[in-house]
Structure 1
Amino acid sequence: MEVNGDMIDEISMRSEPQVYLEIIKLCEKNYYSNASRIIVVTEGIKKAIIKNYCIPEEKIEVIGNGVNTDIFRPLNNTSNLKKKYGFDEKNVVIFVGILVEWQGLKYLVEAAPAVLEEKPDTVYLIIGDGPLKNEIVQKVKDLRIHEKFIFTGFVSHEEVPLYINASDVCVVPKIPLKSGYSPLKLYEYMACGKAVIASDVRGFEILEQAKAGILVEPQNSQKLSEAILKVLEDEALKREMGKRGYKEALMHHSWKSVAQKTEDLFIDVLQEKHGS
């Protein structure tokens, strides 16, 4: 079994009936108990499963997410996309992902006015859809910065690298989760050779370790705007961060390396099951 998130942790951000949470807990207890082995993407998820469901630690293996470096890579053919959205000569800040609570888009929107005051030629490209889209769109309108935001809606996975490559700065303004994060989107940005600004949450340490971007205090719009401006104002810094991120993603975080770890675990489980 593979677990990509702590569902109870995520759902607790919404107003769901208690009975709904109890049903989820019963289902998860059943799944975890009957699995031969459990793969989780963060150490935090592993700790939560052990604590909440009394699952033996040796039954759980941490194998983080990765990136398809054949698809997500530096590209130069972005001119048509830039013309389509009219940001040929502008700074582009991009977010890619499902529009839900823990993505922290509220803080990206609240950070925008300070950035636009210093860099009025900046546009925000929001790629994706989700239950919070209407709320985020309304917040942008309330702040009277709707002309600086482009909401594309759903974009196919194969097209996403083109959008990322058309940007200057990529953002991951996550809200902290107890289970932490496995930086799937972070790796995709890095593999495209882009400077990244992300929340300083558990699981994103690699960004500073690789010197591929800036970590900022979560849920702090001011710190987020300061980081975005720092990168936009320093072309050399932006370029160096992108180069380091690309190298790190290519060498250590491809799906090929993740697949090898997963295959090794499958072999171990089969050998245990058949006693050979």
Structure 2
Amino acid sequence: MHKTLIVTNDFPPRPGGIQAFVHNMAIRQPAGSIVVYASTWRDGTEVAEFDAEQPFPVIRDRTKVMVPTPRVTRRAAEILKAEGCSSVWFGAAAPLGLMAPTLRRAGAGRLLGMTHGHEAAWAQLPVSRQLLRRIGAGTDTLTYLGEYTRSRIASAVGPQAARRMVQLPPGVDERTFRPDSGGDAVRARLGLTDRPVVVCVSRLVPRKGQDTLIAAMPQILAEVPDAVLLIVGGGPYRADLEKLVDATGVRGSVVFTGSVPWEELPAHYGAGDVFAMPCRTRRGGLDVEGLGIVYLEASATGLPVVAGDSGGAPDAVLEGETGFVVPGTSTEATAERIVRLLRDPELRARMGEAGRRWVDRSWRWDMLAERLTSLLAAD
């Protein structure tokens, strides 16, 4: 049996997008083919109980943040040999991919590094750019989310490593995110049954653009007076957004749910008529959207989407077919597209149906996991 060692700092039950990406790919690999070496994250029974439920062994390092120190690298090499693994998959290529030369000497015949949004930011800084070049030289394949991240990372890793890059984005479970996901019940619970709903599902941080949506609400309400903005998620920007709601005078037209359990997210997408997250790039390009899986989850739920133009977010939208891309800082453009969709039910339906077809064709977890399986087993 061909076996792969996953070396990752990002693994559940630690929350986060990379963690979910790695885990969803791992559980879809052939039985008996995966061993995980991951950080501990935090003490307590939660981690042990999670590990016991997995269909593969999970070996935890004592550190809460795993970096490629000599000790961690030696331990990874020991696990590789003890478990009989012939390939290595770095959950995030930077920085753990720096272990690649040592693990190759330990017997790894195939080394793959997943890249995410943060590697695109690394590519802009001189020191981290040099580290990316070393990672590219040491691995056989680097994956990328979309064209934006590919172009940024390729410029840093050099032409040879760039030619070996393969697209491997996170997927969407189309059986979970679907038009009949329970949105009517969420609407009823929140008192939104008879109102047009613009929904945004995301962590509350400045890059995601919830403030742009709130600022756009007066313009939206001038055209669609009973519209409501449903903001789903928690985060450190909540207090600032609440103040903006009051300053804008739209308190009766904005609803915050706070954080909701993962299993309730599909229903909260389904509570919307339009999905909008006008994300924007910040900090000179260091704070940027890598892909924006929320747009694809919304598409799978049958909603048209309005996306910001930050980083790889446009890679998750077929412009004019599944939704629209707007400048992430433009209140006017955001409001115009949302109003157009709210006032045109046929356009909403057409874009929602196109989005669901696109997800089924190109973004299903099972299909993408098969791509990973073939990359790990390649000669």
The Cα shift of 1:180 comes to 6.3
**1:134 corresponds to 2:265:** no
Normalised TM-score (structure 1) = 0.82
In structure 2, the residue matched to 1:69 is 174
Distance of aligned partners of 1:200 and 1:46 in 2 relative to their CA distance in 1, 3 Å threshold: closer
Distance of aligned partners of 1:116 and 1:250 in 2 relative to their CA distance in 1, 3 Å threshold: same
Contact in 2 for aligned 1:113/1:145 (Cα 8 Å): yes
The Cα shift of 1:60 comes to 2.9
Distance of aligned partners of 1:79 and 1:218 in 2 relative to their CA distance in 1, 3 Å threshold: closer
The Cα shift of 1:194 comes to 0.9
**1:88 corresponds to 2:193:** yes
Aligned 1:176-191 pairs, distance under 5 A: 176=281, 181-191=290-300
In structure 2, the residue matched to 1:170 is 275
1:139-165 residue CA offsets vs partner (Å, 9 max, x unmatched):
112112122111111112221111111
**1:198 corresponds to 2:296:** no
Which amino acid counterpart does residue 277 of structure 2 have in structure 1? V
- Which 10-residue stretch deviates more, 113-122 or 29-38? 29-38
Contact in 2 for aligned 1:65/1:182 (Cα 8 Å): no
Which amino acid counterpart does residue 294 of structure 2 have in structure 1? K
In structure 1, the residue matched to 2:143 is 39
Distance 2:165 2:359 in 1: 25
Where does structure 2 lack aligned partners over 5 or more consecutive residues?
1-112
The Cα shift of 1:174 comes to 1.5
Where does structure 1 lack aligned partners over 5 or more consecutive residues?
13-20, 272-276
Name the larger-Rg structure: 2
In structure 1, the residue matched to 2:230 is 125
Distance 1:136 1:103 in 2: 12
In structure 2, the residue matched to 1:18 is none
Distance 1:228 1:130 in 2: 24
- CA RMSD of superposed structures (Å): 2.8
The Cα shift of 1:192 comes to 0.6
- Which 10-residue stretch deviates more, 190-199 or 99-108? 99-108
Local SS of the residue matching 2:262: coil
Q: Which has the higher contact order (CA 8 A, sep 6+)?
A: 1
Give 1:241's match in structure 2, choosing from 331, 348, 351: 351
Which amino acid counterpart does residue 224 of structure 1 have in structure 2? T
Normalised TM-score (structure 2) = 0.61
In structure 1, the residue matched to 2:338 is 228
**1:252 corresponds to 2:362:** yes
In structure 2, the residue matched to 1:213 is 323
Distance of aligned partners of 1:200 and 1:24 in 2 relative to their CA distance in 1, 3 Å threshold: closer
